[in-house]
Amino acid sequence: MSHFRQDIRQRADELVALYPRSRSAMLPLLHLAQEQDGYLSDEGIAEVAELTDTSAADVRGTASFYDMFHLEPVGKYVVGVCTNIACLLAGGEEMLEHASVTLGCAVGATSEDGLFTLEESECLAGCDVAPCVQVNHRYVRSTTPEEFDTLIDDLRRGRLDSDVPAHGTLIRVRRSGGLRAPRAEVAEQRTEAKAARDARAAKEEKK
Amino acid sequence: MASFDAPSIVLSRKGYADSFTLARYLETGGYVALRKALTMFPEDVAAEVDAASLLGRGGAGFPAGRKWSMLRKSPVSYLVVNGDESEPATFKDHFLVERDPHQLVEGVIIAAYALQVNQAFIYMRGEFALGLERVQQALNDAYEQGMLGRKILGSSFSIDVVVHPGAGAYICGEETALIEGLEGKRGFPRIKPPFFPAVSGLYGEPTVVNNVETMSNLPWIVNNGGAAFAALGGGRSTGTRLFALGGRVKNPGVYEIEMVKNTFRDLIYDPRLGGGILNDRKIKCFIPGGVSAPWFGPELLDLPLGQDEVAEKGSMLGSGSIVVMDEDTCVVRAAWRITKFFSRESCGQCTPCREGSGWLERVLYRLEHGGGRTEDFDLLLDLCDNIAPGLTWPPQQTTICVLGSSIPSSINSALTMFRDDFAAHVKNGGCTHE
Amino acid sequence: MSDAPKTSVSVTINGRAFEARPGELLIEAAERAGTYVPRFCYHPRMEPVGMCRMCLVEVDGPRGATLQPACYLRVNEGMSVNTESEKVKKAQDGVLEFLLANHPLDCPVCDKGGECPLQDQTLTHGSGETRFIEEKRHFVKPIEIGELVLLDRERCIQCARCTRFASEVSGDAQIAFAGRGDLIEVSPSPTVPFDSVFSGNVVQICPVGALTAKPYRFSARPWDLEQVESTCTTCAVGCRVAVQSSGNRLTRLLGVDSEPVNHGWLCDKGRFTLDSIDANEGSTDPLLASTRITEPMVRRNGALAAVGWSEALSVAANLLRDAAATPGGVGAIGGAALTNEGAFAWERFVRGVLGSEHVDAQYGDGLDPALLQALPKATIDEAASAGTVVTLTGDLREELPVLFLRLRESAVQKNNSLVELAFGSSALRSVARVSLPVRPGEANAVAQAIAGAAHSKDFAFSEGDLAKACGLIGESGEGVVFVVGRPNLAEDARVIEAAIRTLAERYPQATFLAVLRRSNVNGALDMGLAPQLRPGRGFDVSAAGRDTTAQIDAMVLGEQKAVLLLGGCLLGNVVNVARATAALEAANVVAVTGHGGATLAFADVVLPAAVQHERNGTVTNIEGRVSAVTAKIVAPGSAWPDVAIAAELAEEFGQSLGLSSVEGCAKAIEETTGYPALSVLNDDSSDGVVVGREGVVATRGPLDPMAFPGIRSAVTVGLGARTGSTLAVDLTTKSSTTAAALDQVSAGRGVDVPLADAYSLRLNVSRRLYDRGSAMQGSPPMHGLIRPSALCLNHVDLDRLGVTSGTVVSVIGVHGTVSLPVVLDGAVPRGSAEIPFATLSASGEYVLSALVVDAGVYSQIRLETR
Ligand SMILES: Cc1cc2nc3c(=O)[nH]c(=O)nc-3n(C[C@H](O)[C@H](O)[C@H](O)COP(=O)(O)O)c2cc1C
Ligand code: SF4
Ligand code: FES
């Protein structure tokens, strides 16, 4: 029944458990759905709706607010070139144009071999190494056309496989466990702490 | 000459290649402050932060201690750390989360303890894949070390921290939009009042939102005392601060320098900092605090790097990012690009922001790429005035959040400072820069 | 600090002092002070979002006067506001210009043209010239987002009214905003269409022509429309409506914002089934529900033939007279489709002229009206503001949709507690604090468990949930409203009646809202159309008469020779169709009706009656609120109002009812019984009066063309005419109406519930909004929405059967076997199965006759896979 693979579904359930309300897990769950399918499929969206107790329209509408979520299939590598102010001053527009020529596809489109999708990015917070380029949200050094071509070549040949996972996989470090502060105990402790605080404040006032 | 008298507070591990590891962190004094804090009363920890007069580093510059103390009466339910850093040309938090994640985590635990909050969220920009991994690793380490979880370090305090990945939306840096994102919704800023999440934040409960850099200052403040922090800098701008320097300078990068004691000129020209303008050209103008801020001309280079000092001159230090434009820079293109950014990132709620940004962007595009008309200048200014009446800074807000009223900054600056450049674009049928 | 809570705050609006309510929104305070603040996104029935920014006004503050949105700013003491300054004007003009920048100029072809808030505000405020010379945003032309609604994204001004309605009000967020910035658009999911039963509301509140209704699209231009205000009688909530026609053709129904009832909302069935009234000129077969009966007919040589009124009346009178000659030989069934005036006239006819006590407006699918009369009553408003509401009903979204909205709002917005005795799937489930699943036959046992708070092991809910429910209800039931109905048509009414009695006796402080759902059934009962009842809520314990089921039995046995059917299709409304058919075959049948239907195959005389929107009068809703219905069009052919038919038929008997007109009838009701009628009839803009509530007159507030565009008093943008306050007659009911005390009523006393057998499933027959009734069948746009028949099962029972959703199974009942596809429905309690009412088998016959007939207290079925 589940569209998610078993391991993904398990991680999804773990994510939901981290939040006081299931809907809060929306963004991480959408990243997870994207990790499985490479983009947000209708089935993935339906499962996220189920996990967060929302509707498919709601999930889709939420996802479409965020640039990192793709409602249509994209290449294995999503290449983002920043043309915002600092990168613009360092030749970001030219870099984007060059990327489009190298990849043989327009901005927003996917290369013919289905490997690369090119995007014009807003500031990626990498302005010290401008123009800034990201592949699947990993910073890759590419400030000259030559560096860009080498990068693409490396990606094609799989030389960067360990650094740059396929599109969708965002965080490879798993959380080492669920919540550890037991809610009931915490609630009790909060009441106690408040009482102690009040008592201390009262004492101070007397002084 | 820049002043380097102040200690390095948040970038002290800049020199280590493995600065992000637990081992290096412990070796360089990590988690000492947390142990110390746990021996103090939570209120006393908060009092130190108040004494430090630590201004928020996210943009608005509201004193952290004051924000926390607004909540004395109603207990805070959640602490949310703003790591969404998306203001163009700002990349200081990026540096901190990748290079010193444990310092952030320690700061978060200290703040949580001071506020007696048992669950904290670090909302981090989704595009920081490496940062997300580093912070997650740091959290895992901290759990392992007993510094997170149930009754940490033998105290009676329990705390869970969850790192929450954003997904690509500048507006989610705005604290109420960020909370919406954390609630799993579209990042629509909430209507104000209530003005502070402290009143009604995550799930409608009292919530403190603070920036990554703000948090990263806490271990030092606890170790050295609020007074030591307050002794640095000047006026309301205490301590050191991270500045992200970018644009047409020789050494773009993140620099930690003492506030007020240094000027924009120091930051841009000191060889140990910006190193001057690329190719030794002349500076044309600079943006003092993120693209939302009005621009400054070279005549203000000697202004001290202080919050009030910059505000007095009609701009803001904002997110601490400084963009330098030189005499070769086309300001029309710069203004167009910044406006395009706002248009793309407007959440779309407010009519003036949603429609106005797109309209302005298209007019500027025409000016830059041919087809501009002289009457466009007044049109631009009038449209800007319809978004932020009066075109003053800080803006008269007619929109739900300040993104809308920030849109006019660059257009108004460029047009008033460099009207001739615009006129030349009209005359030449577009841009003649490279 | 210890000041008493303030009752007002002083504000200054454009230099004039005004006392506003504490916490009131500035836009509302200004409006009450007579200052209109322009707006688009603001809607008085939804949370403000502050998106359009049209409502900016200048408010004095510490930083001087600043522009602030009036729609979400709350007034506070000493607030000084300027809504007319140059700065305000410029800001508002600016917003309007921004809104128009990307808005297409297609008003001449837009449905909203002529009644469009954007168009109106542009004409009032706009400069008329655009400085926007760039290309406008383009989207592919209208997309169908559901069966009934089209979306023109180009015209959307992103006010979030529709998305707020879907998520906040109706709770089915099948549409949501997608995209960001100026690419933002309203969007359904590509896999799930927008099929909310409230979809028409988003069309109505759209302030531009972005959302349009398929049934109305291009059908008329606003300036051709004429309008009256009336009450919807599609169900018994009694929503106030504006009925519009173009000439004598009904074109549109719009919700009017009535504070005590519908808040402006309507369900799609009420809104869109207009076609069943006048759009079927083509269909003439009297056996089809889609046919309007326009001429009197008499059966000749086995077939119905059109005749003149005098012949039809005389044949009818002869049939009835002959039957009445034998004691108990004649009776009447139906009446829910009548107005109160019609019901009153027919009551006089049946009891006074025919001398029969056998009269019943219900079809054996309701509750004992004597019991309901004995209960202390709650209004809809009281239920919607009660601290705790307990429902013992079917799915209210399916039965009384707008009541569902009100209760949902109460639970979500006001955070009131909802306790649900859940008999099957229910749309309120998600907002209920506790939901106790109840299986057929169990209702009274559960009520007793609540009353005594003892839990039996057999229940389908936990002890914890029972305790929680009891906690919310409290000791005396103070502040508690029980909403009671008839959830299961395959169960003896006595089970639920016993449960109601148990609760009423246990919780003396609680009040009850009984939800008999069929159009004006409440009015018909109040006019005495039931055994033991008398007009004006009179009650006669000593009288004995047959209810519908008993009449059917008597006809089958030949004891009752003739039946007078008062509107409605008998066969379409009873569970046991087979037995009713036998009854109709055996007896002579005189049918007074506006619609065709299967029942007419047995009619000897058919008298054509005017139906809703063709007649004047009053009706009474579930809470006992009497409101006016107003004719908008003239009834087709020779159809008459029912009052006239009753009066003329009485003349055939040589008697005069003394009721020559609707007004005369209303006057007679009020004068003889004290039941409000004439005074309500004369005030078509009031929200009605609740029977038995001293002096409470609800006058409708001013129509707000911005909130509910399209309603015709919306001539210009601005304050609408305060039509509601023109008439304020004191409608104190004259004599206080009899409330039959509980101990005088026999209903609900003792019923033995046999144990279920382990191999069978208990059957729950529930209602669907989109049923096979004449309204749905007669309305082309709605017809396609009637869902195919199915048997709903919980996954445990589905697994036990070893089948999946969609498999056709054999359903074995007491009287035969039928085949139905099964559908998974997690809400159906384990050990039971749910079948919607009026279900047809795969081969087309009514299935319930086979499954439910004489089944005892509840019905059991067995399933076999083939
Ligand atoms: C449009 C907009 C974008 C913002 N982006 C950020 C951001 O990326 N990071 C951040 O810390 N604060 C950002 N802020 C400021 C936050 O709303 C908030 O003031 C801040 O996170 C509070 O933390 P601080 O007091 O520690 O600075 C933004 C504000 C606005 C209006
Ligand atoms: S000003 Fe812009 S970004 Fe801010 S809430 Fe309004 S539309 Fe959204
Ligand atoms: S913003 Fe106030 S009415 Fe739209």
For every residue of B160-217, DSSP letters joined together read EEEEEE--S-GGGGSHHHHHHHHTTS--PPPPSSS--TTTS-GGGS-EEEEEHHHHHT
- Min Cα–Cα distance to chain B from A155, Å: 18
Which positions ≥6 away from C423 have C-beta within 8 Å? C393, C394, C438, C440, C443, C487, C488, C764, C766, C829
pLDDT at A151 exceeding the cut of 90: yes
Average pLDDT, chain C: 90
Hey, what are C488's tokens? 């299961």
User: Looking at residue B313, what is its pLDDT?
Assistant: 97
List pLDDT tens digits, range C404-460.
Answer: 999 999 999 999 999 999 999 899 999 999 999 999 999 999 999 999 978 888 899
- Provide the Cα torsion C558, C561, C564, C569; round to 10°: 40
Average pLDDT over residues C795-812: 90
Ligand 3 atom closest to residue C48's alpha carbon, by position in its atom list = 2
- Residue A94 Ramachandran class (φ > 0 left, ψ -120 to 50 alpha, else beta): alpha
Q: Of the given ranges (B77-91, B255-269, C102-116, C391-405), which has the lowest mean pLDDT?
A: C102-116
Tell me: do A132 and A90 sit in the same domain: yes
pLDDT at C659 exceeding the cut of 60: yes
User: Looking at residue C423, what is its pLDDT?
Assistant: 92
Nearest-CA neighbor of C628 among C348, C228, C201, C343? C228
Residue corresponding to tokens 């939302």: B292
User: How many Cβ atoms sit within 10 Å of the Cβ of residue C862?
Assistant: 14
Number of residues assigned to chain C: 866
Hey, what are B219's tokens? 């271990």
User: Whole-angstrom Cα distance, residue C370 to residue C514?
Assistant: 12
Q: Does B352 touch chain C (CB under 8 A)?
A: yes
HSE-up (13 A, CA, CB side) for residue C352: 20
Q: Does B397 touch chain C (CB under 8 A)?
A: yes
- Min Cα–Cα distance to chain A from C187, Å: 7
Which ligand does the CA of B60 lie closest to? 1
User: Looking at residue C720, what is its pLDDT?
Assistant: 36
Q: Which of the two residues, C709 and C696, has the higher pLDDT score?
A: C709
- Min Cα–Cα distance to chain A from B336, Å: 10
User: Whole-angstrom Cα distance, residue C695 to residue C693?
Assistant: 6
Adjacent-strand bridge partners of C423: none
Confidence of residue C716 (pLDDT cuts 50, 70, 90): very low
Confidence of residue C723 (pLDDT cuts 50, 70, 90): very low
Residue owning the nearest CA to atom 23 of ligand 1: B210
> C189–A65: do the CB atoms touch at under 8 Å?
no
**CB-count burial class (<10 Å; 0-12, 13-18, 19+) for C285:** exposed
User: Looking at residue C664, what is its pLDDT?
Assistant: 94
Number of domains in chain A: 2
Tell me: do A36 and A1 sit in the same domain: yes
Contact B161, B108 (CB under 8 A): yes
Confidence of residue C129 (pLDDT cuts 50, 70, 90): confident
Tell me: do A57 and A83 sit in the same domain: no
Q: Which of the two residues, C163 and A205, has the higher pLDDT score?
A: C163
Contact C436, C422 (CB under 8 A): yes
User: Whole-angstrom Cα distance, residue B176 to residue B196?
Assistant: 8
Beta strands in C537-623 (DSSP E): 538-539, 562-566, 588-593, 605-608, 617-620
Residue owning the nearest CA to atom 6 of ligand 2: B350
User: Looking at residue C733, what is its pLDDT?
Assistant: 42
Tell me: do A102 and A58 sit in the same domain: no
What are the two backbone dihedrals, phi and then psi, of residue C833, each rounded to the nearest 5 degrees? -135, 150
Q: Kindly list the residues from chain A whose CB atom is less than 8 angstroms away from the CB atom of residue B76.
A: none
Hey, what are C671's tokens? 């004068």
User: Whole-angstrom Cα distance, residue C846 to residue C864?
Assistant: 19
**Is A52 inside any structural domain?**
yes
> B184–A175: do the CB atoms touch at under 8 Å?
no
Ligand 1 atom closest to residue B84's alpha carbon, by position in its atom list = 8
Tell me: do A84 and A56 sit in the same domain: no
**Is A183 inside any structural domain?**
yes
User: Whole-angstrom Cα distance, residue C384 to residue C262?
Assistant: 11
**Is A185 inside any structural domain?**
yes
Q: Is the CB of B407 under 6 A from ligand 1?
A: no
Nearest CA in chain A to C185: A61
> C189–A55: do the CB atoms touch at under 8 Å?
yes
Residue corresponding to tokens 């007078």: C564
pLDDT at C29 exceeding the cut of 90: yes
pLDDT at A97 exceeding the cut of 80: yes
Contact C116, C709 (CB under 8 A): yes
Arch. (CATH architecture) of B22-230? 3-Layer(aba) Sandwich (3.40)
List pLDDT tens digits, range C271-308.
Answer: 999 888 875 566 889 999 889 999 999 999 999 999 99
pLDDT at C638 exceeding the cut of 50: yes
* pTM for the full predicted model: 0.94
Helix H or strand E segment including C228 = strand C226-231
Ligand 1 atom closest to residue B125's alpha carbon, by position in its atom list = 8
| CATH class of segment(s) B233-326 | alpha beta
User: Whole-angstrom Cα distance, residue C107 to residue A202?
Assistant: 69
Q: Kindly list the residues from chain A whose CB atom is less than 8 angstroms away from the CB atom of residue C194.
A: 57
Tell me: do A104 and A128 sit in the same domain: yes
User: Looking at residue B70, what is its pLDDT?
Assistant: 80
ipTM for the whole complex: 0.95
User: Whole-angstrom Cα distance, residue C423 to residue C421?
Assistant: 6
User: Looking at residue B21, what is its pLDDT?
Assistant: 98
Q: Does C183 touch chain B (CB under 8 A)?
A: yes
Q: Does C684 touch chain A (CB under 8 A)?
A: no
List pLDDT tens digits, range B26-66.
Answer: 999 999 999 999 999 999 999 999 999 999 999 999 999 99
Which positions ≥6 away from C404 have C-beta within 8 Å? C396, C397, C427, C428
Contact B187, B181 (CB under 8 A): yes
Distance, CA B88 to ligand 2 centroid (Å)? Answer: 17
User: Looking at residue C714, what is its pLDDT?
Assistant: 37
Which positions ≥6 away from C453 have C-beta within 8 Å? C466, C467, C470
User: Looking at residue C122, what is its pLDDT?
Assistant: 86
Q: Which domain holds residue A179?
A: 1-72+172-202
Q: Is the CB of C71 under 6 A from ligand 3?
A: yes
pLDDT at C715 exceeding the cut of 50: no
List pLDDT tens digits, range B282-301.
Answer: 999 999 999 999 999 999 99
Average pLDDT over residues C482-504: 95
Tell me: do A112 and A181 sit in the same domain: no
- Percentage of residues of chain B with pLDDT beyond 90: 94
List pLDDT tens digits, range A41-75.
Answer: 999 999 999 999 999 999 999 999 999 999 999 99
Give, rounded to a whole angstrom, the gap between the first and last alpha carbons of chain C.
Answer: 76
Q: Of the given ranges (B274-283, B388-397, C751-760), which has the lowest mean pLDDT?
A: C751-760
HSE-up (13 A, CA, CB side) for residue C276: 26
User: Whole-angstrom Cα distance, residue C247 to residue C219?
Assistant: 12
- Provide the Cα torsion B182, B183, B184, B187; round to 10°: -70
List pLDDT tens digits, range B404-425.
Answer: 999 999 999 999 999 999 999 9
Average pLDDT over residues B152-179: 97
pLDDT at A187 exceeding the cut of 90: no
List pLDDT tens digits, range C134-158.
Answer: 988 888 889 999 999 999 999 999 9
Tell me: do A50 and A95 sit in the same domain: no
Confidence of residue C696 (pLDDT cuts 50, 70, 90): low
Which chains does chain C touch, 3 or more C-beta pairs < 8 A? A, B
Tell me: do A191 and A149 sit in the same domain: no
User: Looking at residue A199, what is its pLDDT?
Assistant: 80
Average pLDDT over residues B254-266: 98
What are the two backbone dihedrals, phi and then psi, of residue C492, each rounded to the nearest 5 degrees? -60, 130
Q: What is the CA C157 to chain-centroid distance, rounded? A: 31
User: Looking at residue B257, what is its pLDDT?
Assistant: 97
Contact B97, B128 (CB under 8 A): yes
Number of residues assigned to chain A: 207
- Percentage of residues of chain C with pLDDT beyond 90: 69
Of A23, A68, A123, the CB nearest to B184: A23
DSSP-based three-state secondary structure for C101: helix
Q: Which of the two residues, C122 and A27, has the higher pLDDT score?
A: A27
The DSSP call for residue C836 is E
User: Whole-angstrom Cα distance, residue C41 to residue C49?
Assistant: 7
Hey, what are C783's tokens? 């017809």
User: Looking at residue A136, what is its pLDDT?
Assistant: 98
Which positions ≥6 away from C105 have C-beta within 8 Å? none
Most confident of C188-197, C600-609, C773-782: C600-609
Of B354, B397, B398, the CB nearest to C158: B354
Helix H or strand E segment including B80 = strand B78-83
pLDDT at B340 exceeding the cut of 70: yes
Contact B157, B35 (CB under 8 A): no
Confidence of residue C702 (pLDDT cuts 50, 70, 90): confident
CATH for B331-428?
Answer: 1.20.1440.230
The residue extents of the domains of chain B are: 22-230, 233-326, 331-428
Give the residue from C151, C165, C191, C798 with the most A CB atoms within 10 Å of its CB, the best one to mutate.
C191
State the CATH number of the domain containing residue A55.
1.10.10.1590
Tell me: do A65 and A94 sit in the same domain: no
Q: Kindly list the residues from chain C whose CB atom is less than 8 angstroms away from the CB atom of residue B358.
A: 101-102, 181-182
- Min Cα–Cα distance to chain C from B237, Å: 23
Q: Does B384 touch chain C (CB under 8 A)?
A: no
Which positions ≥6 away from A159 have C-beta within 8 Å? none
Which chains does chain B touch, 3 or more C-beta pairs < 8 A? A, C
Do the domains spanning B233-326 and B331-428 agree at the CATH topology level?
no
Give, rounded to a whole angstrom, the gap between the first and last alpha carbons of chain B.
Answer: 34
Confidence of residue A1 (pLDDT cuts 50, 70, 90): low
> C181–B346: do the CB atoms touch at under 8 Å?
yes
Question: Identity (one letter) of the amino acid at C453?
Answer: A
List pLDDT tens digits, range B208-221.
Answer: 999 999 999 999 99
DSSP-based three-state secondary structure for C706: coil
Q: Is the CB of B59 under 6 A from ligand 1?
A: yes
Confidence of residue C731 (pLDDT cuts 50, 70, 90): very low
